[in-house]
Structure 1
Amino acid sequence: MKPYIAHELPLQNLDYRRLLELVGEANAALAKYDGLLQGIVNPAVLLSPITTQEAVLSSKIEGTQATLDEVLEHDAGIQMDVFKTQDILEIVNYRRALMLASDYLRDRPISLSLIRQMHKLLLDSVRGKDKEPGEFRRDQNWIGAKGCTIDQATFVPVSPLQLQSALDDWAQYIQDNDIDALLQLAVVHAQFELIHPFKDGNGRIGRLLIPLFLYQKKKLASPMFYLSAYLEENRDAYYEGLARISQADDWDGWIAFFLKAISVQATENAKKVHEILALYEAMKQRIVSITHSQYSIQILDALFDRPIFQTTELVKRTDIPKQTLLPLIRQIRESGHLKVIQEASGSRPATLAFSELLNIAEGRKIL
């Protein structure tokens, strides 16, 4: 099988009549979601569990087995077995790479330098750490069954001799404006996956680029749009759509799939944000009523930022004096709003969970 030859961008001869309605639906759904984001004072805190859930699902597509609550338990300091910890660290790195890029984009556009930084962080001390983190590949790679030869591969990405040229064209395309930003994003994501510039981690970097691109193009007030739930649920169609580009030049089919994914996921994301905002407003009243404390809102924000926590860690994070905070947490716990993950034992503090928020982020009851 010969290496893939990257299409020249922007694409020509797309079937805009087929895609026009899907473009309109995707833009409308995304605009509604962005309207919600713009109404949140601190989305990074309030929607923190959704960000972690995106990291969980994007990594799951690549084979990790950790869940949202396990990642948050790890964040809280609960020890896991070595295999579970390895999966969790991959997810934590994904989240760190997103935060790094979000900070970078405040005053600079997406660049190949940023992508290399993200990749280096993504593979830091985890599976793939021996695959030259932060470096574009210098060898030919291929995709197929484990142990297959290049002749047995299902896909052979761009030749290393053509890689830099393909990446430069791709990076320039990101800075330009195509006929529509969401249609352009579909092309950006697919072209990156087909170029496959790294030895490992290409899928995760490609999915990380989705909210970053939308933020750069001012389609979102903050880079917090997560598509991995849809892509994980429709994993076969996701990979088949990418494969049909290389096999049959079916860009129209891929773009149609991607636009539908945006429409469906924007609606689902908006529903979750509505539920989280409603919970936040309800909990403001409840915690004030329960604690009668000047620290009520500060505690609530900390619960939303990290809904699984150890009590001593919460003291450090809020700077509320321990002798003041612990009785307030006990009151909230006794009211039924916090569940015990791990009781205090000896010098080990209790680990508690704000289950109502976790269940919304997960989309089902987990605690």
Structure 2
Amino acid sequence: MLPPRVELETVKVLKQLSKTSRALAELKGYAETIPNKNILLNAATIIEAKDSSEIENIITTHDDLYRALNKSIYASSSAKEVANYRSAMWKGCEIVRVSKIITINMIKIIQGIIEKNDAGIRKLPGTVLQNDKTSEIVYTPPEGFDTIMDYMSNLEKYINDDVDEVDPLIKLAVIHYQFESIHPFYDGNGRTGRIINILYLLLKGLLDQPILYLSSYIIKNKADYYRLLQEVRTKNAWEEWVLYILTAIEETSMETLGLIKKINIEIEKMQIEIRSSLPKIYTQELIDLLFYEFYTKTSVFEKELSISRKTAVSYLTQLESNGFIHSEKIGKERIYLNYRLLNLIKSKSSTSI
């Protein structure tokens, strides 16, 4: 049960906490200057949805992902799972902003969207965590609905209660460990836990927008992630685990800041180029729409720019002819890709499949 009966704020942890806090504050401050935050939010959530799912060996390509986001029947099942993760993330952010707390029911809603079922908290015995390569059982999480609910109630209280005055970034490491160890659901625990991370940062005001995600760092350091989780269980090795999470937040903050700056540069370049080559169709709304997601379609242009279908087709044709976008036929529908944004997203993702 929480809180852990160990000293979490060691000298090493506090030294790393200082660096992590600075990096996160810089990211938050710069993100606040972005005129259209939806552009950044979409890019960040697409990257996280793909990377977080990849940790669970749910592999998809960016090309397949936009089919899923477009609810295409041609999308793979893996891509649809990634799209579900993104939907769950948005839902969680929406609830936290209104409720100002993180509850068991909210966590159940998030997991239900990820897995597309309402199985809820585990009731049946037999859940074990195994080594992927050897099939050796490395950990058996708590069993029994009442026992699991006791642990979850304790976690809920710890998340929302600050009586221990531990820094929120250190608490995030504890929360993530505890949720993964309770393993309350039959499936989707890892992805649900990583959404809880970002919701906690929003809850504590450390970020205003859900733009920081640790999945890319975890993929690059996956063996350490699972090793350190297990060493907290077997050796009570909290310091190294907390340092891992703090380092992940620091490095991911710096990477995300770099991505935001690159997106801004591409937006400014496209503004100048379209204003010069296609002045009759140029508007700021058009630029925002091209960067809102890395794909678009005629019906979206028609609706968002309040123009006729004929005009929307004309705009997209001109943009493609001038090299700003390129199109692909999916079934009966034509999708238009902003390859500049797509390439940035691919370069930020842990893999550029």
TM over 0.5: yes
Report what 1:104 is aligned to.
95
- Where do 5+ consecutive residues of structure 1 fail to align? 1-6
Alignment of 1:93-172 (within 5 A): 93-108=84-99, 109-124=101-116, 129=117, 132-133=118-119, 135-140=120-125, 141-144=127-130, 153-160=137-144, 161-172=146-157
Tell me the secondary structure at the aligned position of residue 72 of structure 1.
Answer: helix
Q: Aligned AA for 1:118?
A: I
**In 1, Cα distance between equivalents of 2:140 and 2:70:** 42
Report what 2:227 is aligned to.
240
Tell me the secondary structure at the aligned position of residue 198 of structure 2.
Answer: helix
Question: Compared with structure 1, are the counterparts of its residues 38 and 364 closer, same or farther at alpha carbon in structure 2 (3 Å cutoff)?
Answer: closer
**In 1, Cα distance between equivalents of 2:161 and 2:86:** 27
Tell me the secondary structure at the aligned position of residue 40 of structure 1.
Answer: coil
- Which one of 165, 169, 174 corresponds to residue 159 of structure 2? 174
Tell me the secondary structure at the aligned position of residue 102 of structure 2.
Answer: coil
Q: Percent identity?
A: 26
Alignment of 1:215-234 (within 5 A): 215-234=202-221
Write out per-residue CA displacement over residues 290-319 of structure 1, whole angstroms, 9 at most, x where no aligned residue.
322465222221211222233344324443
- Cα deviation, residue 142, structure 1: 1.1
Report what 1:3 is aligned to.
none
Question: Compared with structure 1, are the counterparts of its residues 169 and 76 closer, same or farther at alpha carbon in structure 2 (3 Å cutoff)?
Answer: closer
**In 2, Cα distance between equivalents of 1:68 and 1:114:** 29
- Cα deviation, residue 145, structure 1: 5.1
**2:4 equivalent to 1:18:** no
**2:343 equivalent to 1:351:** no
Q: Aligned AA for 1:262?
A: I
Q: Aligned AA for 2:77?
A: Q
**In 1, Cα distance between equivalents of 2:5 and 2:302:** 54
- Which one of 34, 40, 63 corresponds to residue 40 of structure 1? 34
The question of whether the paired residues in 2 share the 8 Å contact of 1:310 and 1:351 is answered with: yes
**In 1, Cα distance between equivalents of 2:83 and 2:71:** 13
- Which one of 178, 193, 200 corresponds to residue 187 of structure 2? 200
**2:328 equivalent to 1:336:** no
Report what 2:174 is aligned to.
187
Q: Aligned AA for 1:22?
A: Q
Question: Compared with structure 1, are the counterparts of its residues 159 and 78 closer, same or farther at alpha carbon in structure 2 (3 Å cutoff)?
Answer: closer
Tell me the secondary structure at the aligned position of residue 336 of structure 2.
Answer: strand
**In 2, Cα distance between equivalents of 1:323 and 1:48:** 28
Write out per-residue CA displacement over residues 188-234 of structure 1, whole angstroms, 9 at most, x where no aligned residue.
11110011111111000000111110000000011221111111111
- Cα deviation, residue 187, structure 1: 0.7
The question of whether the paired residues in 2 share the 8 Å contact of 1:73 and 1:308 is answered with: no
RMSD (Å), alpha carbons: 2.5
- Where do 5+ consecutive residues of structure 2 fail to align? none
Report what 2:294 is aligned to.
307
Tell me the secondary structure at the aligned position of residue 302 of structure 1.
Answer: helix
Q: Aligned AA for 1:172?
A: K
Write out per-residue CA displacement over residues 40-93 of structure 1, whole angstroms, 9 at most, x where no aligned residue.
23323344122111101100111112122321133346553xxx6211111111
- Cα deviation, residue 36, structure 1: 1.7
